[in-house]
Structure 1
Amino acid sequence: MNHNTPLSPRPLRHLAEVHRRVLSTAQLRAHGVTAAEASEQCRAGGPWQQILPGVFLLRPGPPTSEERLHAVLLYAAREVPPAGVPAQPGPDEPHRPGYTEAMITGLAALNLHGFAAAPPLLSLERIEVLVPRLRRLRSTGCARIVRTPALPAPCVRTGLPVAPVARALADAVAGLSDAVTVRRLLTEAVRGGHCEAASVVRELTRARLLGRPHVVDAVDSLLAEGRAITEERLYRMVREHGLPDPAWNVDLRLPGGPHLGGVDAYWPEQAVAVELDTRAPRQDDDAMWSEYVRKREHLERLGITVVHITPRKLRETAEQQAAVVRTALMASGDRDPAAYVVVLPR
């Protein structure tokens, strides 16, 4: 047998090109190649190479970034269907092997998500792959195993399962000590619209990374960046959906009485306020939420309608949020008059 010999009578034309080059021991066996034959092909100077335990590259030379990604997933996946699939795909549909309970994470995942601040895939010595905590796997070669109690739902990038941005960021930051790189990655996540600041902080908190000074500094900048972006989206929503101009970023106070709190937008004639929920999910999250609730309930007892909007809703459903605000403004005439409050710049 040589590298020009067909693997078996079972055809390979249903496989995408990379899946003809990177195969597992089980897939080779499904094509009639024994373990001994595979080892023979991987001898010194041979046409194949074993790049991870049980994973073979069916050509000489350094693996490409695409081949390394598939190899890492083949190594870490719990079950990979054999190369000859029982259900035949259509003539123009390449079969992609399933990568069960494994997904790319860390810097490689950020690269696949399109992060400009992420390094090139070929420059990464190891590719991180996320697996369930109880899997019996070890980091080896170009594969670095990252364990989690519960796998998130993967995103699909270039046909590969990839961890969501916030999770991939946390796994990347865990291995970084350079403050500039951490700040660039976190900032691009929010500024580039990949995810909200709160979801990033939530994952960093879960990974217990907020005790690192360079991470805390980057998070503070991230939250300020996220707040500014969310406010800009609120301005755009009001403008693009034809809502009347409110008083922006104001404090409300009873005449000669206590301070009622700040709101992001306020329509005095209709007594309607908008408050953006840009809380960071840290340890004091419950206390902060309780303060939000107390303030809203106090304002509503005074006859002021409070519309609570999260950054995610504002980003994904701005038209729907504008309709909610418009409805509140139109309904003001049917409500009892609100208490008079003093509106001050914040």
Structure 2
Amino acid sequence: MNHNTPLSPLPLQHLANAQLRVMSTAQLGAHGVSAADAGAHCRPGGPWQQLLPGVCLLHPGPPTSEERLHGALLYAGRPPARTARAVPAQPGAGEPHAAYADAMITGLAALALHRFSSAPPLLSLDRIDVLVPRTRRLRSVGFTRLVRGHGMPTPQQITGVPVAPVPRAIADAVAQLAEAGAVRRLLTEAVRGGHCEPAAIVRELNRARLLTRPHVVDAVDSLLAEGRAIAEDRLYQMVAEYGLPDPLWNVDLRLPGGPHLGGVDAYWPDQAVAVELDTRAPRQGFRQDDDALWSEYARKREHLERLGITVVHITPKKLRDSLEQQAAIVRTALMASTDRDPAAYVVVLPR
């Protein structure tokens, strides 16, 4: 065959009006299109084009953002040539997204799909990051950048595309960002937008060994402060919405003339009930400090409970996901105070 040889008709007329016109060579082979015929149709001036190695765009125009996403997934998800086999022509035929194997969109492209306003639009991205297992034997090529990981998270399906969860997508995006403001905006939107809790983001940044970069550390400090402020707002909301008696907010407890017992976020002195928010987050290289902090939490709780004070321990995630349930737990503790022995007298001071 030479450049003047007419192209043979291909048995793909039923796909001519398909919304998504990007297919792998394996998928084309399942429709009876040989690699040679596909290559001929992707020649300059032909009706198709090669989007990525082993991936064809079935029209001559520029790819849409959706076609770029699916093309990147088809490239990253294809098995090595010696074990390649025909796969369903469309994701969803047979096993869902079988052609994508365990590849998923991550990084800024994933955050755009999660509707982050601080992430660039998909079409403006020069690279689409695709998360693949560490053993995947492919290289980054064209607009597809492979991100290899030891552990693969469970993807979320967004508009038919497997997408990494927000904490993992943020870590993979931050790995490519050197500008402190961009990092801070992503982290802040993740928490303010209710996508996830700060601790989940810090865990992923920790795994990616990004907490040694000064601009990331600064952004994390702002994130933790933001996360605590949001958790406190939710605690105020819980008390107001569910008719709990007003507590004393953000106080320190001391024994009269004795030692400091510790600070609590809310305290009901008549019922001797305290609420403490757990806003800890693991840090790279500070696991021992995190364990020590948890031990301090536990010691304080045990000490207060020996004095007859009930401590309700609440995480920001519980306040976000089950506010009514947390209110019921606090209400039960308040009501149970009449059945307990009177608590020791403590001095309450502003914190």
Aligned length: 337
Matches within 5 A, 1:168-179: 168-179=169-180
Q: Which amino acid aligns with 1:184?
A: R
Q: Quick check: 1:2–1:41 contact (8 Å CA) kept in 2?
A: no
Aligned to 1:273: 274
Q: Within 5 Å, which residues of 2 pair with 1:132-211?
A: 132-211=133-212
> Which residue of the partner structure matches residue 71 of structure 1?
71
2:296 is the counterpart of 1:291: yes
Name 1:55's counterpart in structure 2.
Answer: 55
TM-score, normalised by the number of residues in structure 2: 0.91
**Which residue of the partner structure matches residue 231 of structure 2?**
230
1:24 aligned partner = 24
Decide whether aligned partners of structure 1 residues 195 and 85 sit closer, same or farther in structure 2, where only a CA change above 3 A counts: closer
Contact 1:81 1:98 in 2 (8 A): yes
- Tell whether the 8 Å contact from 2:91 to 2:97 is kept in structure 1 after alignment: no
Structure 1 unaligned blocks of 5 or more: 90-94
C-alpha distance in 2 between matches for 1:3 and 1:235? 70
Q: 1:169 to 1:279 in 2, by over 3 A?
A: same
Residue 121 of structure 1 aligns with which residue? 122
Identity of aligned residues (%): 73
Change beyond 3 A, Cα 1:226–1:84: closer
Q: Aligned partners of 1:314 and 1:4: how far apart in 2?
A: 63
1:81 aligns to 2:82 (yes or no): no
CA RMSD of the aligned region, Å? 2.2
Give me the whole-angstrom Cα distance separating, in 2, the residues matched to 1:157 and 1:202. Answer: 24
Q: TM-score under structure 1 normalisation?
A: 0.92
4+ runs deviating over 6 angstroms? 1-4, 84-89
Unaligned stretches of 5+ residues in structure 2: 80-85
1:336 aligns with one of 335, 341, 347: 341
Whether the 8 Å CA contact 1:3–1:47 is kept in 2: the answer is no
Q: Which deviates further from its counterpart, 274-283 or 71-80?
A: 71-80
CA shift for structure 1 position 287: 1.2
**Equivalent residue letter for 2:219:** A
Q: Quick one: structure 1 residues 71 and 86, their matched pair in 2 at CA, closer, same or farther if it must change by over 3 Å?
A: closer
Structure 1 residue 7 and structure 2 residue 11: aligned?
yes
Shift of 1:324: 0.4
- Cα distance in 2 for partners of 1:23, 1:7 equals 14
